[in-house]
C-alpha cells in the first residue's frame, strides 16, 4: 500500500477549542486533507488517518471531544466530495492522543467516545493509544470485544479489513507511567513487528526526518531505514509541517493535529513514485 498524492489545500477545517499555553482555551482548526492511495484491498473504498485530536467542541469542561465531531464532518465530506466512497467500506486508523480537556493543557483522559463515534460512522476502526489516552478498564474491555474494531492495547499484528496491520502504542519513557515503555523494549518490539512485513504499521511515537526538518525519534528512524519491509507507517505525537516523508523504502505519514481521507487511486498504478506537492496551506 502506498500514498500517491495528498492535496495540500484542506478540503475542510473543523473548528474546535484547544488548551492555551498560558491557561484557558483558545480556538483552533483541524485541517482535513484528501489524498489517493494505491494498493487498497477489494474490501475497502478508502482510508481515514488521524492523530492527536486534542481538542473539544466548546471551551467548557467535559465537552464533546473533537474526534466525536470529526466523525460527522467526515461523513458529510464523503457525501459531498467523494460520493464514490461507501462509509461502510472505510477503515479509520487512529494514532493516539484523542482526549483533551480544553481547560487543562496536556490533560489525559478516556478517548472511548471518539472510538465509538468513528465506529458508528465507518466500517472498521483500528488504532493505538497515545501517551495522553487513559482508557478505563471497562473502556478497554469494550474495545477488545467490539465488532470491526482493532485496538492494539499491546504490540501486535492482525489481519483486519483485508489489511495486514501492526500496532505499537505509547512512547518510550519511565516504566510505571501510563503508556510508557523502556526504550530498549520499544525498539525490540518495533523490530519484531516490522519482521512480519505488515502493510500498515500504526505508531504514536514516530521517527525523525532531519533532512525534512521533522522532529521525532532517531532510533525509530534507524530501525525503519534498516527494515524497508513496511509499505506505510502512520504516527503522530509531534507535529510536522509536511506530513509525508520517505525513510529508506518506507513512507511515513504523520497525522498529528490533522485528518486525512484517502480514496483509491483513480489512475492505473504504473509502479512509479510520484512526488507530493510541498506547498502546504492549512489556513
In a domain, 282, yes or no: no
30, 257 contact by CB (below 8 A): yes
Asked if 8 contacts 280 with a C-beta cutoff of 8 angstroms, the reply is yes
What three-state secondary structure class fits 169?
coil
Task: Using alpha carbons, select from 262, 202, 210, 256 the residue that is nearest to residue 232.
Answer: 202
Tens digit of pLDDT at every position of the chain (283 positions) = 999 999 999 999 999 999 998 888 899 999 999 999 999 999 999 999 999 999 999 877 667 999 999 999 999 999 999 999 999 999 999 999 999 988 888 889 999 999 999 999 999 999 999 999 999 999 999 999 999 999 999 999 999 999 999 999 999 998 878 899 999 999 999 999 999 999 999 999 999 999 999 999 999 999 999 987 777 999 999 999 999 999 988 999 999 999 999 999 876 544 544 444 434 444 3
Give the pTM: 0.93
Count of structural domains, the chain = 1
Q: How many other C-beta atoms lie within 10 A of the C-beta of residue 242?
A: 17
Q: What is the CATH number of the domain that holds 49?
A: 3.60.21.10
Query: Does residue 274 belong to any structural domain of this protein?
Result: no
Phi and psi at residue 253, to the nearest 5°:
-105, 115
For residue 172, the enclosing domain spans 2-264
- The partner residues of 133 in beta bridges, in order of sequence, read 109
Residue 269 inside a domain? The answer is no
271 domain-assigned:
no
CA dihedral (209, 220, 98, 278) in degrees, to 10, reads 20
Amino acid at each position: 500500500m502506498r500514498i500517491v498524492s495528498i492535496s495540500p489545500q484542506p478540503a475542510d477545517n473543523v473548528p474546535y477549542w484547544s488548551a492555551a499555553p498560558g491557561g484557558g482555551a483558545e480556538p483552533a482548526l483541524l485541517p482535513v486533507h484528501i489524498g489517493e492511495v494505491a494498493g487498497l484491498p477489494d474490501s475497502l473504498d478508502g482510508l481515514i488517518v488521524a492523530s492527536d485530536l486534542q481538542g473539544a467542541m466548546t471551551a467548557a469542561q467535559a465537552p464533546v471531544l473533537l474526534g466525536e465531531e470529526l466523525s460527522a464532518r467526515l461523513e458529510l465530506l464523503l457525501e459531498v466530495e467523494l460520493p464514490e466512497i461507501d462509509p461502510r467500506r472505510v477503515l479509520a486508523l487512529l494514532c493516539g492522543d484523542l482526549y483533551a480537556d480544553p481547560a487543562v493543557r496536556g490533560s489525559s483522559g478516556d478517548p472511548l467516545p471518539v472510538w465509538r463515534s468513528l465506529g458508528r460512522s465507518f466500517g472498521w476502526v483500528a488504532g493505538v493509544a497515545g501517551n495522553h489516552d487513559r482508557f478505563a478498564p471497562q473502556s478497554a474491555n469494550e474495545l477488545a470485544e467490539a465488532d470491526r474494531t482493532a485496538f492494539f492495547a499491546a504490540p501486535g499484528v492482525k489481519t483486519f479489513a483485508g489489511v495486514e496491520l501492526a500496532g505499537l502504542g505509547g512512547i518510550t519513557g519511565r516504566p510505571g507511567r501510563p503508556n510508557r515503555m523502556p526504550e530498549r523494549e520499544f525498539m525490540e518490539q518495533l523490530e519484531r513487528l516490522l519482521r512480519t512485513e505488515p502493510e500498515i504499521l500504526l505508531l504514536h511515537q514516530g521517527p525523525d526526518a532531519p533532512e525534512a526538518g521533522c522532529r521525532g525519534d532517531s532510533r525509530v528512524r534507524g530501525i525503519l531505514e534498516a527494515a524497508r519491509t513496511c509499505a506505510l507507517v502512520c504516527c503522530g505525537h509531534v507535529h510536522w509541517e509536511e506530513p509525508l516523508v520517505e525513510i529508506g523504502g518506507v513512507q511515513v505519514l504523520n497525522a498529528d493535529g490533522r485528518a486525512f481521507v484517502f480514496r483509491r487511486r483513480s489512475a492505473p498504478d504504473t509502479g512509479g513514485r510520484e512526488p507530493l506537492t510541498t506547498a502546504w496551506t492549512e489556513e
